[in-house]
């Protein structure tokens, strides 16, 4: 985890909320808030989550393992800090000027247009052009 002193509790809270099907809602509420455990419990109550289940999941080995697995997967593809961006599988690390993002997006749009003209179906493009052709490790 990049900033475990700040990110561990919100990550665990997100996992605990996911156990009740409310990951995205919790994620949306967390931004800009106090990241302490009591704050996360208040957000869970705001979402109408079962408080006892949330508290149990908040400290559970299952959530700790989920977070550790996510960290391992991100590390394996080179993501070791924030911000980190992937545009069709192409990695940009750190804060970058908007021009760099625009250039990369424009390159990817040209590739997509060429693939579509070559007969790749729109609904298959990402899998064919990004997932199958992407690096499997660094």
Whether residue 103 sits in one domain with residue 67: no
Together in a domain, 98 and 119: yes
Domain range for 92? 84-131
pLDDT value of residue 71: 86
Residues 89 and 71 in one domain: no
Q: Domain tally for the chain?
A: 2
Query: Is there a domain that residue 8 lies in?
Result: yes
* Domain co-membership, 97 together with 69: no
Query: How high is the pLDDT of residue 8?
Result: 87
pLDDT digits 0-9 by tens, 27-79: 999 988 888 999 999 999 999 999 999 999 999 999 999 999 988 888 887 78
Exposed (0-12), middle (13-18) or buried (19+): which is 114, by Cβ within 10 Å? exposed
- Do 97 and 66 share a structural domain? no
- Same-domain status, 67 and 92: no
> Is 90 exceeded by the pLDDT of residue 113?
yes
Do residues 69 and 88 share a domain? no
Question: Taking 70 as the threshold, does the pLDDT of residue 9 lie above it?
Answer: yes
Q: Is pLDDT larger for residue 126 or for residue 55?
A: 55
| 67-110 residue pLDDT tens | 999 888 888 877 877 788 888 888 888 889 999 999 999 999 99
Q: What is the mean pLDDT of the chain?
A: 88
Nearest 5°: the CA angle 63, 6, 91 is: 80
Note whether 11 and 56 are same-domain residues: yes
137 inside domain: no
- Mean pLDDT across 19-24: 94
Q: Which two tokens stand for residue 6?
A: 């700040």
The residues that bridge with 34 in the sheet, in sequence order, are none
In-domain check, residue 15: yes
The answer to whether residues 29 and 68 belong to one domain is yes
**Long-range contacts formed by 16-19: CB under 8 A, 24+ apart:** 16/40, 16/44, 16/49, 16/53, 16/54, 16/55, 16/57, 16/58, 16/60, 16/63, 17/44, 17/47, 17/49, 17/54, 19/53, 19/54, 19/57, 19/62, 19/63
Is residue 39 a contact partner of residue 10, using CB atoms and an 8 Å limit? no
Average pLDDT over residues 101-124: 93
Q: Is residue 107 part of a domain?
A: yes
- Considering the domain architecture, whether residues 56 and 25 belong to the same structural domain is answered as yes
């Amino acid at each position: 985890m990049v900033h475990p002193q700040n990110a561990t509790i919100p990550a665990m809270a997100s996992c605990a909320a996911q156990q009740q099907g409310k990951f995205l809602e919790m994620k949306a509420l967390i931004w800009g808030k106090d990241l302490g455990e009591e704050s996360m419990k208040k957000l869970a109550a705001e979402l109408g989550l079962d408080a006892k289940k949330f508290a149990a999941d908040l400290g559970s080995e299952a959530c700790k393992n989920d977070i550790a697995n996510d960290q391992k997967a991100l590390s394996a593809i080179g993501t070791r800090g924030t911000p980190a961006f992937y545009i069709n599988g192409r990695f940009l690390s750190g804060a970058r000027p908007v021009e760099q993002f625009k250039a990369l997006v424009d390159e990817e749009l040209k590739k997509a247009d060429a693939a579509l003209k070559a007969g790749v179906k729109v609904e298959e493009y990402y899998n064919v052009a990004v997932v199958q052709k992407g690096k499997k490790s660094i």
